[in-house]
Copies of this chain bind each other. A is one copy, B any other.
Amino acid sequence: TSPPLQTDRDLSIRNDTTEQPWLYWSNYAMSNGGGVASSTTHLLDFLEEPIPGVGTYDDFHTIDWVREKCKDRERHRKINSKKKESAWEFTKSLYDAWSGWLVVTLTGLASGALAGLIDIAADWMNDLKEGVCLSAMWFNHEQCCWTSNETTFAERDKCPQWKSWAELILGQAEGPGSYIMNYFMYIYWALSFAFLAVCLVKVFAPYACGSGIPEIKTILSGFIIRGYLGKWTLMIKTITLVLAVASGLSLGKEGPLVHVACCCGNIFSYLFPKYSKNEVLSAASAAGVSVAFGAPIGGVLFSLEEVSYYFPLKTLWRSFFAALVAAFVLRSINPFGNSRLVLFYVEYHTPWYLFELIPFILLGVFGGLWGAFFIRANIAWCRRRKSTRFGKYPVLEVILVAAITAVVAFPNPYTRQNTSELIKELFTDCGPLESSQLCQYRSQMNGSKAFTDNPNRPAGPGVYSAMWQLCLALIFKIIMTIFTFGLKVPSGLFIPSMAIGAIAGRIVGIAVEQLAYYHHDWFLFKEWCEVGADCITPGLYAMVGAAACLGGVTRMTVSLVVIVFELTGGLEYIVPLMAAVMTSKWVGDAFGREGIYEAHIRLNGYPFLDAKEEFTHTTLAREVMRPRRSDPPLAVLTQDDLTVEELQSVINETSYNGFPVIVSKESQRLVGFALRRDITIAIENARRKQEGIMLNSRVYFTQHAPTLPADSPRPLKLRSILDMSPFTVTDHTPMEIVVDIFRKLGLRQCLVTHNGRLLGIITKKDILRHMAQMANQDPESIMFN
């Protein structure tokens, strides 16, 4: 008799996943040696020799953080106690104490170096779509023209060394023929890169697709996905990220950089015996964001706010260190050639005025609406991809999206250029040296197109055409981003979201600027915006818009503001940023509280217990626990009157991951908890090594063997695999407390008692199912265990 779910079957997990064609659970990536926990000794019983294999986890199982932490401390204590024995042991203890720092340093170094490589390679390949540097193939457009002496500052993009494809192939730089040739080559390269990227991902490392942040969140919450952070994933993700960015798809490299950094952290942590993966991964996330934006403090806060599950103070310090090392390495590599750490360095010179809060808050509303819309649309599209046959042709899908993107993007200069460059241009304030179309204001002095120092400007024809192009770019980006995020290539969401916000913000900024120029005697502008005064900075609006849109999508708050604050380096603009980000979050939350990462976690059915979401129902533990009233009784083991045969039949007939051990069937008093995997391994081990263990051998979990008849076979002692301190709650405990315990302690399961008698069990999955039920969602959407 197999009662319904108590903790889940190993088998049912594999079945679940093979139904999803795109998850590749049992694929190549599983054999590449990655994994989250593989400590091999069970430490709660110090007297007996550990049985090899006891205490490890299966793939797609949940980690019991409390036990893991105990194991780690035990290892640490062992090393420490031997410290004084010899110089060698002392060195070992020193090494142990420093290995945590060493790992985060190495992670920081590797993340910084990889980020630099990716930046340089992506820049070069991106420019390859347009042309090639004849003097040195390996130079990108900008570097190619640095060495040229013939170009003036205003035309610094044009130099004889750099040849567009039309010039190379047709020998002519102007005219419709060369335009079509360039157009064709642009599409050709975009498709080639996209095709290469998706093929590499599909063949070598399926886990390399997507942004990786939802999975990293899940892994940090204590779920094992072997190979997700392995060396193959790292290698393929690094290569395909370059290709995906260069292909011109509407995606960014920030999320994947976090994944890359976490892979580095995971791989380095294998070099050290110390169990501190959780810490290393938190630090690696910080390093990833740090190099993505050049914002180390923002990276730490991102890791704290968005990624990490437990964030002890030691981790804070190490995360900061990793973020800093990574940022430092990146600055030394200097991929942008401007010796600036940050991606979009801007400096504004005018303060903002109180009235401007109105457009800033409007941008916040736009960001919130965009975030809510994007999450719904993207999730609906991803669900369709999972559920219909369409999802079976990922390569075709990528090619299709890349082709549409390339075809539509080329004619519009704002979509043709690199998205990061677009954001940078939108952020930048118009100065006298700025040659951008966005800065073609009519001079007040003589009506010519020349620039003047007078900053309050009526828009010229360049600005008007730029506005139209920006509007088209906005619509294009909005549509393409929805279809791009979730493709089987590495894809980040930060840059596209920021681009959308920056475009909207710049449009609003220019509109307000023109309004202030033509109506400077309005009561709104009268006091602070005189004729000839520089009172509106459209670049600031772009920045606020970018923050608002990113906030709407990810629902990050403080970390986002800090990241953007680090970009500009001025406390001056924190208030506008906060106003916009808060509005964006509140507007977004009104349509649904999940950020995009949580939504994708739910879509994939990962067992992720969100630390942010509050449990607000009044249910008690007894209403959530298994078995329910209609269920068969709980499968339990008694402490000293089972035989090996009976034990094996319990294990074979049920599929639970663990069994409570009780004193006797009558008293139902709880003794401990034994894991299925450990029992199986222990019986196997005993059969091989201990003589006299037969099918009718008595199994006992007690300290001393029970008194047996003289002719009975040698009993099997299993106390060493018994967890004698299982967590228990009473049946009257409110679920909000139970959820709190699971979250804060990182439990895998918890036993329920009533007046000292064992009543049932609650697993993480039970809680997630219950929460889904309370939110009127399908409880069966939570998979794995």
Contacts and interface: CB of A to CB of B under 8 A. Distances in A.
A611 B313 contact: yes
Given A73-B616, A562-B297, A755-B663, A726 B730 contact: yes
Contacts of A312: 611
A571 interface: yes
A562 B295 CA distance: 12
A566 B565 CA distance: 11
Given A725-B733, A741-B745, 15 more contacts: A44-B734, A73-B736, A77-B618, A300-B558, A304-B316, A320-B557, A566-B571, A621-B725, A668-B756, A725-B732, A725-B734, A725-B737, A728-B730, A728-B753, A744-B744
A757 B669 contact: yes
A612 B70 contact: no
Interface in A541-578: 557-558, 561-562, 565-566, 569-571, 574-575, 578
A642 interface: no
Contacts of A618: 74, 77
B296 A740 contact: no
Given A317-B557, A565-B297, A741-B745, A669 B756 contact: yes
A324 B578 contact: yes
A515 to B, nearest CB: 27
A66 B732 CA distance: 14
Contacts of A70: 734, 736-737
Interface in A386-403: none
A467 interface: no
Interface of A: 44, 66, 69-70, 73-74, 76-77, 80, 296-297, 300, 304-305, 312-313, 316-317, 320-321, 324, 327-328, 341, 557-558, 561-562, 565-566, 569-571, 574-575, 578, 582, 611-612, 614, 616, 618, 621, 663, 667-672, 724-730, 732-734, 736-737, 740-741, 744-745, 753, 755-758
A296 B573 CA distance: 13
Contacts of A313: 305, 611-612
Contacts of A328: 575
A753 B672 CA distance: 12
A654 to B, nearest CB: 23
B316 A305 contact: yes
Most B CB contacts (10 A, CB to CB) among A324, A671, A729, A733 go to A733
A671 B731 CA distance: 10
Contacts of A565: 297
A77 B755 contact: no
A655 to B, nearest CB: 27
What 10 pairs across the A-B complex have the smallest Cβ distances? A669-B756, A725-B733, A724-B732, A756-B756, A744-B744, A320-B558, A725-B730, A317-B557, A669-B755, A725-B732
A611 B730 CA distance: 27
Contact of A756 (B80, B316, B663, B734): B663
A558 B316 contact: yes
Nearest to A327: B571
A165 B667 CA distance: 89
Contacts of A726: 730
A303 to B, nearest CB: 12
Contacts of A612: 313
A154 B363 CA distance: 48
A384 B129 CA distance: 77
Nearest to A305: B313
B296 A561 contact: no
A297 B566 CA distance: 11
7 contacts: A70-B736, A296-B571, A341-B571, A663-B756, A740-B745, A744-B745, A753-B756
A654 B650 CA distance: 48
Nearest to A306: B313
Contacts of A616: 73, 76-77, 80
Contacts of A575: 324, 328
A671 B562 contact: no
A778 B65 CA distance: 33
Contacts of A77: 616, 618
A600 B464 CA distance: 66
A317 B305 CA distance: 10
A296 to B, nearest CB: 7
Nearest to A571: B341
Most B CB contacts (10 A, CB to CB) among A296, A305, A562, A737 go to A737
Contacts of A621: 725
Nearest to A295: B571
Contacts of A562: 297
Nearest to A725: B733
Contact of A574 (B324, B571, B756): B324
B755 A671 contact: yes
Given A724-B730, A728-B728, A732-B724, A574 B663 contact: no
A520 to B, nearest CB: 26
Most B CB contacts (10 A, CB to CB) among A566, A575, A744, A758 go to A744
A293 to B, nearest CB: 12
Given A616-B77, A734-B70, A740-B745, A296 B756 contact: no
A408 B193 CA distance: 75
A526 to B, nearest CB: 22
Contacts of A321: 578, 582
A670 to B, nearest CB: 5
A605 B234 CA distance: 52
A733 B621 CA distance: 22
Nearest to A611: B313
Nearest to A317: B557
Contacts of A300: 558
Contacts of A317: 557-558
B740 A729 contact: no
A66 B744 CA distance: 12
A316 B744 CA distance: 17
Nearest to A620: B725
Most B CB contacts (10 A, CB to CB) among A571, A575, A726, A744 go to A571
A112 to B, nearest CB: 13
Most B CB contacts (10 A, CB to CB) among A558, A569, A570, A667 go to A558
A328 B569 CA distance: 17
Contacts of A671: 755
Nearest to A661: B755
A321 B618 CA distance: 31
A601 to B, nearest CB: 17
Contacts of A316: 304-305, 557-558
Nearest to A737: B66
A329 to B, nearest CB: 12
Nearest to A729: B725
A616 B70 CA distance: 10
A79 to B, nearest CB: 12
A166 B9 CA distance: 90
A387 to B, nearest CB: 33
A611 B618 CA distance: 30
